Amino acid sequence: MVLLAEPMQSLQSAAFTMRLPAGTTYEPAERGGLAHLACDLVVRGSESLHGRAFVEALDRLGINRGEGVGSAHASLYGAALARNVGPALRLYADVVRHPELHPEQFESCRALALQEARGVEDDPAHMLYDALRERFYPPPWGRSDTGKIPDLESTTLDEVRTFVARTYRPNGALLGVAGRVEWPALVELVEELFADWPALPEPELAAASPPAGYAHLPYPSNQTHIGIAFAWPAYSHPDYFQAWGAVGVLGGGTSSRLFTEVREKRGLCYSVHATLESRGKYGGVLCHACSQADRAQETLDVMLAELVRLGQGIEQAELARLKARIKSALIMQQESSSARSSALVQDWYHLGRARTLDEVGSLVDALTHETINAYLAQRPPRDFTVVTLGPQPLEVRSGVS
């Protein structure tokens, strides 16, 4: 397991982020939702602290905590007064190394997982994103985090136990701590808690070819949700920040091109945006808009036109607005131990090292519209994967892979 830390002595708090190689990519193909179900069950108690005893121990420490599952990892995170983070790490070491996985807790966790999965059926935007990622990313990297109802209904406790025994392991795990911490004391504690945790074989993840192209999901509604995805550099790529700057101009905020052209000028929808995300070594830009069904075709046409226009370059004023917003976010991150602990493990997973905020700030400062335009000239947006959800399919008139 890799330990990362950033002392922030001006704070009274500290935070930790623990990522375990137990994300959705490690699920069997017919067990969508297994990783999410396993994560929820793991934090229900350990062999020494059953059920409520584990939760009450965290509450006595005042730990503001949570957990979640992504494509590569199950993540556990918490923040508290600095003096209580060490005791909290003891509790989490116990629960990830010796989870109870009790049958009664299993049924409760599955009921909640099914409730969440059924809730997706009432959330068309969530449904669209699940379908878009599944169509765009090479399997298994596009799997839904919530899973599928038939898979969850047929999952057994033995399957959860097997999954946890295989994926909750130190090799591939990351622990990031930030805030009012002392490095020597932290190293000593983490070695005590994890040094004898035996490593396990790392499963191979063989990616398949994604479906790509266009797909329509019939859905009874007066609205149509539109999703567009295209390949873009992942976080580890040398051109990531050039691509990131271009996407910020395209769909990051109320001054972005998509917002201006789709909402403000034409009034086609209330919300439209584009985000750059990474799943392992795969990067992509995901765009989303929701429009009245009778204006959905125009919305799609304008979005695709803006993606094509982005390849022609951006203007200096557009980048200046983006930089101002990003600098504000960086300053706020300097004051957040939780944000820094998460950034440490993200950097290490993608880069094999941790960036300082000053380094990130320098990378942002180095961006110019000339450097971004040089990148866009070599790699304009193209080969779009498109998914629509609504009463009628749309016509995709250009750029689909």
Question: Are residues 173 and 236 located together in one domain of the fold?
Answer: no
Q: What is the DSSP string of 78-138?
A: EEEEHHHHHHHHHHHHHHHHSB---HHHHHHHHHHHHHHHHHHTT-HHHHHHHHHHHHHSP
pLDDT at position 295: 96
For residue 14, give the H/E element and its range.
strand 13-20
- In the predicted structure, residue 357 carries a pLDDT above the cut 90: no
How far, in Å, CA of 313 to CA of 242, rounded?
12
Mean pLDDT across 148-166: 96
> Which secondary-structure segment (H or E) carries 306?
helix 296-310
Domain boundary among 133, 159, 194: 194
CA distance 22 to 320: 40
- How many structural domains is the chain composed of? 2
Task: Please tell me the predicted confidence (pLDDT) of residue 252.
Answer: 83
Q: What's the N-to-C CA distance of the chain in angstroms?
A: 40
Q: Are residues 239 and 114 in the same domain?
A: no
> Dihedral sign, CA of 278, 75, 128, 254?
negative
Instruction: Give the DSSP H or E segment for 347.
Output: helix 337-351
Residue 11's alpha-carbon distances to 6, 7, 360, in angstroms, are 12, 9, 21
Tens of pLDDT, residues 40-65: 999 999 999 987 899 999 999 999 99
For residues 187 and 221, membership in a common domain is answered with no
Q: Does residue 399 lie within any of the structural domains?
A: no
Q: What is the distance of C-alpha 86 from the center of its chain? A: 27
Q: Are residues 366 and 272 in contact, defined by beta-carbon separation less than 8 angstroms? A: no
Read off the pLDDT of each residue in 311-332 and give the average, rounded to a whole number.
Answer: 82
Mean pLDDT of the region 303-320? 93
DSSP SS3 for 182: coil
Whether the full predicted model's pTM is greater than 0.75, yes or no, is yes
Structure-block tokens of residue 185: 């004391």
- On the 0-12 / 13-18 / 19+ scale of CB atoms within 10 A, 382 is middle
Percent of the chain with pLDDT over 70: 98
Question: Do 145 and 246 belong to one domain?
Answer: no
Nearest Cα to Cα of residue 88 among 108, 64, 120, 72: 64
Average pLDDT, the chain: 93
pLDDT tens track for 93-150: 999 999 999 998 999 999 999 999 999 989 999 999 999 999 999 999 999 999 999 9
User: Do residues 106 and 250 both lie within one domain?
Assistant: no
Final residue of a structural domain among 194, 223, 238: 194
Task: Give residue-wise pLDDT tens across range 79-95.
Answer: 999 999 999 999 999 99
Compute the average pLDDT of residues 207-216.
Answer: 92
Q: How many angstroms separate the CA atoms of 356 and 190, rounded?
A: 22
| DSSP string computed for 26-45 | GS-TT-TTHHHHHHHHHTT-
Q: Are residues 279 and 226 in the same domain?
A: yes
Whole-angstrom CA distances from 5 to 67, 95, 341, 358 are: 20, 22, 7, 16
Residue at 111 is within a domain? yes
Asked whether the predicted pLDDT for residue 12 surpasses 70, the reply is: yes
The most confident of 26-35, 46-55, 327-336, by mean pLDDT: 26-35
Is 330 found in the same domain as 238? yes
User: Measuring CA to CA, which residue among 112, 3, 2, 105 is closest to residue 54?
Assistant: 105
The continuous run of DSSP H or E covering 51 comes out as: none
Distance CA(341)–CA(179), nearest Å, equals 8
pLDDT in tens, 239-266: 999 999 999 999 987 889 999 999 999 9
pLDDT above 70: residue 332:
no
Beta bridge partners of 74: 20, 69
Domain span at 378 = 214-390
> Three-state SS across 260-304?
HHHHHHCCCEEEEEEEEEEECCEEEEEEEEEEEHHHHHHHHHHHH
Tokens found for residue 150: 């038939």
Give a yes or no: residue 295 inside a domain. yes
Q: Which band of pLDDT confidence, cut at 50, 70 and 90, is reported for residue 361?
A: confident
- Per the domain annotation, does 377 fall within a domain? yes
> Is the residue at 397 inside a domain?
no
Is the pLDDT score of 330 beyond 70? Answer: no
Mean pLDDT of 341-357: 94
Same domain, 120 and 235: no
- Specify the length of the chain in residues: 401
pLDDT(331) > 80? no
Who's near 137: CB < 8 A, 6+ residues apart?
210, 279, 282, 284
| Contact predicate 67/163, CB 8 Å | no
54, part of any domain: yes
Is 201 inside a domain boundary? no
pLDDT band at 234 (very low <50, low <70, confident <90, very high): very high
Structure tokens that stand for 366 in this block: 């180095």
CATH number for 276: 3.30.830.10
In this structure, are 130 and 264 located in the same domain?
no
- Over range 270-293, report the average pLDDT: 95
Cα 84 to chain center, whole Å? Answer: 28
Does 297 lie in the same domain as 179? no
Same domain, 159 and 256: no
| Rounded Cα–Cα distance for residues 313 and 325 (Å) | 20
Least confident of 60-69, 206-215, 380-389: 206-215
The rounded distance, in Å, linking the Cα atoms of 271 and 131 is 19
Question: Are residues 229 and 182 part of one domain?
Answer: no
User: What's the confidence (pLDDT) of residue 399?
Assistant: 66
